Amino acid sequence: MTTPTQTSIAGAVIDRIHAWVQHRREIAELRDLDAGEFQRMAHELGLAPGYLDMLVQQGPPDAAELPLMMKALGFSQQTIDAINPREFQDMQTCCGECEHKHTCRNDISAETAAQNYQHYCANAEAIKAMKAAAQ
């Protein structure tokens, strides 16, 4: 008999494998672009081609905490969805590169994010500005 913990661990492993396979496909797809198409794509994203190449190689930053943090701070899903895509992408990049993920997850789980996030969250200023603009 499997326990809920075993099921969640197996699910997490399967999700990681799926993400890895997907990432490999995306790299292959981008490698199939000719140099002009790749440069055009980088320009449309507002990135230098070399930086885009580096990001592709790294894979997507794990920014799963960002929408969870924003919800913990009182943002609705509708408000999150309405954030300027470029600004949200910048926030995801900050979140993905964050060294305080453990603290962040603990605060979200303990429902103490509102009291503590400004002490460690690289997106604190952007979040504060969004909250102020919404009021």
Full DSSP string of 56-113:
HHH-----THHHHHHHHTT--HHHHHTS-HHHHHHHHHHHHT-S-HHHHHHHHHHT-H
Is 100 in contact with 121 (CB distance < 8 Å)?
yes
Q: Place 2 in a pLDDT band, splitting at 50, 70 and 90.
A: low
Contact 62, 23 (CB under 8 A): no
Percentage of the chain exceeding pLDDT 90: 42
Model confidence pLDDT, tens digit, residues 58-99: 666 678 899 999 999 999 999 999 999 889 988 988 898 888
The answer to whether the CB of 69 falls within 8 A of the CB of 108 is: yes
pTM of the model: 0.58
Give, in order, the Cα–Cα distances in Å from 106 to each of 15, 66, 98, 103, 118. Answer: 22, 13, 14, 5, 14
Spatial separation of the C-alpha atoms in residues 10 and 90, rounded to whole Å: 32
Q: Do residues 124 and 118 touch, judged by C-beta distance below 8 A?
A: yes
Token digits for 82? Answer: 């309405």
pLDDT of res. 57: 73
Q: Give per-residue pLDDT as tens, 95-128.
A: 988 889 899 999 999 999 999 999 999 999 999 9
Segment 17-45, tens digit of pLDDT: 777 778 788 888 888 889 999 899 889 88
